[in-house]
Structure 1
């Protein structure tokens, strides 16, 4: 059973729609990243899908941290997150078997229930996230870092307001801010390019500028964390 929740911009009178949809219909491909979040005593690990047997289990790679494989224990429970097509999804599972031959891998319990939420690139959610902004380029805007506030966020970009100028159209900047996914806080760093810049009205003081940013080169791990964060923001409306 998969619960498919519509995004806020597409909500009907029923915000959560249950429908029969096997895990294999989610559109995951071999090699796609999965994000494991420890249920018992924390821990976050990035793995890749190796294969699955419908109704039986998933085979994923052994997590690697700082270039070393992390040996996880059998029966340890996890929340598994990933994304496929335009949806981010999550399900509870546990490690049924740990194998080192013929290559290191984990065998996970097949999901009995999976929650999927559609997250469209254009869907921007209102937030108020303090951030620090830096740049590798001399844009003639003074010293770095600078303080800013993220006012909306999506899978592909963000809106930001600031007191000081962060640059001009086409300039590349780096954002650093704190997000919380499943109760775990993580410092998030994103490179972005300025796509639009607007001078705010005096009524918006102390902020003088607002920017539309497009992300650059998000890693698979960053995409999963970001979509997980957006999923939880959307879930607050259900």
Structure 2
């Protein structure tokens, strides 16, 4: 889609992703200031460790943003950086913007170590394993032990990475399906596979869920640009 179609409001939050001199990806928070159609975009200069970040002309970056019900991503090249009268960053005007709508059913593949507790039974059975995929509505769990039946309520606990943070997270879910694995898969030590639906009402838990899922979807859609 064309950048103009986004009708991006001034002040829209952006994420700038670049590759540093060590070859490692770095992300910076910025805001959209304005545009010269067909020529340049004007962005605020991010801060890092309390100081204005420095970008060099010709440096490549990926810019991503949440818009409407999806994620917009485009590649850009730094044209100039000014400090007077305000710190501003000028980057190339994007020819096209990749847009991916986010649906409630959009699932992403993950490998999150988890612990699971069945809160529907008196004995509160527990097991460990992996979350193999996740969406904002549910997940696929692969566990060492069969600790739940269809219809049981469980609590899933793990840590999720969101940007530079590792957040402790727990969420309530109901088992909706049990997947029978082959003999070969059972030998992989995670024989109990469940499809679960999230039924959490706590706002904090849901905020972590949405932040994690959306950040992963955005990352999947970000062009991997180098200097």
* TM bucket normalised to smaller: 0.5 to 0.7
Give 1:211's aligned residue. Answer: 196
Residue 45 (structure 2) pairs with residue 55 (structure 1): no
TM-score (structure 2 length as normaliser): 0.64
Structure 1 position 161, deviation (Å): 0.9
Aligned residue-pair number: 197
C-alpha distance in structure 1 between counterparts of 2:38 and 2:9, whole Å? 17
Displacement after TM superposition at 1:90 (Å):
2.1
Contact 1:33 1:49 in 2 (8 A): yes
Decide whether aligned partners of structure 1 residues 209 and 124 sit closer, same or farther in structure 2, where only a CA change above 3 A counts: closer
User: Unpaired runs of 5+ in structure 1?
Assistant: 3-21, 179-185, 233-238
* Structure 1 CA distance for aligned equivalents of residues 102 and 154 of structure 2: 26
Moved over 6 A (4+): none
Correspondence 1:1-238 to 2 at 5 A: 2=1, 22-38=2-18, 41=23, 42-124=25-107, 127=109, 129-133=110-114, 146-151=128-133, 153-154=134-135, 156-163=136-143, 169=153, 171=155, 173-176=157-160, 191=169, 193-198=171-176, 200=178, 203=181, 206-207=191-192, 209-213=194-198, 216-218=206-208, 225-231=215-221
Judged with a 3 Å threshold, the aligned counterparts in structure 2 of structure 1 residues 220 and 50 are, in CA distance, closer, same or farther, namely: farther
8 Å contact kept, 2:131–2:141: yes
Per-residue CA deviations over 1:160-207 (Å, capped at 9, x if unaligned) read: 3132559x74857444379xxxxxxx9975846324224626657511
- The answer on whether the counterparts of 2:140 and 2:193 sit within 8 Å (CA) in structure 1 is no
CA–CA distance in structure 1, aligned partners of residues 37 and 213 of structure 2 = 26
Instruction: Tell me how far apart the structure 2 counterparts of residues 170 and 203 of structure 1 sit (CA, whole Å).
Output: 21
| Higher gyration radius (CA) | 2
Superposed CA offset, 1:77-97 (max 9, x none) = 112222311232322211112
Compute the displacement of 1:132 (Å): 1.7
Q: CA deviation at 1:105?
A: 2.6
Alpha carbons 1:83, 1:224 under 8 Å: kept: no
- What SS does structure 2 have at the residue aligned with 1:72? coil
2: CA distance, partners of 1:73 / 1:117:
30
3-state SS of 2:8 partner: coil
User: Does structure 2 retain, via aligned residues, the 8 Å contact 1:161–1:211?
Assistant: yes
Once the 2 structures are TM-superposed, how far is the Cα of residue 224 of structure 1 from its aligned partner? 5.9
CA RMSD of aligned residues (A): 4.0
